[in-house]
Amino acid sequence: MQAANQPLISVVMATYQGEKFLAKQLDSLLSQTYPSIEIVICDDASTDGTSLLLASYGAIHSNIRIYQNKENLGYIGNFERAITLSSGSLIALCDQDDYWHPEKLAIQFASLGEAALTYCDSSICDDDLHPTGQRVSTISRCHNYTSCLEQAVFCRIYGNTMLFKKSILQSALPFPTVLPHDWWIAFLAAHRGGIVYVDQVLVEYRQHPGNLIGAATGSSRSIDREEQAAAKEKEVSNIRERMALFYATCPAEFSFEKKALEQLNRSYRDFSLASNFLRLFCFFRYSKWLLAVKRRSAIRKWLFCLKMFVKIK
């Protein structure tokens, strides 16, 4: 329900086979102290008890809206559909297996101001939500961002920590398939109002074997050499497409970022000697921005830039 003088926040959740952890997260959403929220949930054709669990919550709580996909859209497509079905001017992305502190949305709304997006710290937990002792802020550098260059090579702003203005997605849908949707949103936000960091743990970020994407590392499985080669080729193709997309999307008025992205885009096209030297030059010249999220010493950053002569990232 919407409170007077409080913009509606749409908490957007994508579910799939989430029965095991879902109730805990739903309860944390319903306990939010921010008074004006709707909870929009798209279930991606789950075959476990997720649908029944969602229906039981929807029958009791009028601010929960549930949609069932007739066929599986995949993680990114499911979030995209849920966002398009939302009504709020502010969007908070929500995973099905985490836990939000009651004041998460209230604190993030208060911090947003004129920025396009705000994100918070999160505690990395095990299956049972017991803290592992690590936070996202201990494995990556978290701070305010005002340049899209800072999101061009690495992004450690995860969707479950975001609150952003829906308006930044104008002309940005459908989500591109060559990078995670939360990375795309962060890149857009950086040059459409900026990004504000809330230095508080407001999310318990559950890590378990069913995670599609894990904190800072991503999920992995054992694959053979042929699969490895195909995966590497696809990864390189996606990286090149991502950089081309970032260059095309960056507004011309951001001349510094536009020039850097144009050079990077050219250097990513192949591994010719000219491209390799240009890429090396770019990483050394723009390392302050391109490696802004990396918690590394100056010498390790220097070595990373040197490696870009023979690879792309």
pLDDT in tens, 73-97: 999 999 999 999 999 999 999 999 9
Q: Partners of 201 in the beta sheet? A: 121
Under 8 Å between Cβ of 269 and 117 = no
34 Rama class: left (phi>0) / alpha (psi -120 to 50) / beta: beta
CA-to-CA distance for 205 and 164, rounded, in angstroms?
19
Domain with CATH 3.90.550.10 in the chain: 9-206
Q: If we measure between CA atoms, which residue out of 10, 189, 7 comes closest to residue 84?
A: 10
Confidence (pLDDT) at 208? 73
pLDDT over 70 for what percent of the chain? 94
Backbone torsions φ then ψ of 154, nearest 5 degrees:
-130, 145
Digitized pLDDT (tens) for each residue of the chain, 313 residues in all = 455 579 999 999 999 999 999 999 999 999 999 999 999 999 999 999 999 999 999 999 999 999 999 999 999 999 999 999 999 999 999 999 999 999 999 999 999 999 999 999 999 999 999 999 999 999 999 999 999 999 999 999 999 999 999 999 988 899 999 999 999 999 999 999 999 999 999 999 999 766 555 565 444 456 678 888 899 999 999 999 999 999 999 999 999 999 999 999 999 999 999 999 999 999 999 999 999 999 999 999 999 999 999 999 9
HEC letters along the chain: CCCCCCCCEEEEEEECCCHHHHHHHHHHHHCCCCCCEEEEEEECCCCCCHHHHHHHHHHHCCCEEEEECCCCCHHHHHHHHHHHCCCCCEEEEECCCCEECCCHHHHHHHHHCCCCEEEEEEEEECCCCCEEEEEHHHHCCCCCECCHHHHCCCCCCCHHHEEEEHHHHCCCCCCCCCCCHHHHHHHHHHCCCCEEEEEEEEEEEECCCCCCCCCCCCCCCCCCHHHHHHHHHHHHHHHHHHHHHHHHHCCCCCHHHHHHHHHHHHHCCCCCHHHHHHHHHHHHHCHHHHCCCCCCCHHHHHHHHHHCCCCCC
Q: If we measure between CA atoms, which residue out of 115, 284, 134 comes closest to residue 188?
A: 115
- Topology annotation, domain 9-206: Spore Coat Polysaccharide Biosynthesis Protein SpsA; Chain A (3.90.550)
